[in-house]
């Protein structure tokens, strides 16, 4: 109890809620944080050209910074959202080449050509593929 001048102020403690009234809030998803959650990476993503473009732009940023591993990751994500993206495959193959992974660049070229044989980039990709296979 506190007394200020002619006023009497009574301070009462706030009653704590018991655990039986309300469960505690989940602060974080422990399984995900500890890496125990298993995600199925083989399930295709919903086609989303906007997310594909965003990942492509972020990948281009990393590419300019010469962080080719991060760029490759973003280009793969862009392809997951838009599997027929010529720009994403073009960027991915160039990043693989810069990252000294010609075998993966060859596989990406073949994958694109196999999926899109009538693409306007097919001739250019075939030429680059032939050049890489000679090395």
Sequence-distant (≥ 6) Cβ neighbours of residue 121 within 8 angstroms: 86, 89, 90, 112
Give the global pTM: 0.67
Query: What is the Rg, in whole angstroms, of the alpha carbon atoms belonging to the chain?
Result: 28
Q: Quick check: 19 pLDDT over 80?
A: no
**Domains along the sequence of the chain with CATH:** 49-134 (1.25.40.10)
Q: Which of 2-6, 29-33, 103-107 has the highest mean pLDDT?
A: 103-107
Residue-wise pLDDT tens digits, 60-92: 999 999 999 999 999 999 999 999 999 999 999
């Amino acid at each position: 109890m506190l007394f200020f001048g002619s006023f009497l102020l009574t301070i009462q403690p706030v009653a704590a809620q018991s655990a039986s009234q309300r469960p505690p809030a989940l602060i974080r998803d422990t399984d995900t944080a500890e890496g125990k959650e298993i995600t199925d990476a083989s399930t295709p993503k919903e086609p989303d050209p906007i997310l594909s473009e965003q990942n492509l732009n972020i990948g281009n940023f990393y590419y300019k910074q010469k962080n080719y591993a991060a760029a490759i990751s973003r280009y793969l994500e862009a392809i997951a959202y838009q599997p027929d993206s010529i720009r994403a495959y073009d960027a991915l193959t160039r990043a693989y080449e810069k990252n000294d992974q010609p075998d993966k660049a060859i596989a990406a070229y073949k994958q694109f050509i196999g999926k899109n044989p009538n693409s306007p980039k097919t001739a250019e990709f075939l030429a680059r593929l032939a050049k890489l296979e000679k090395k």
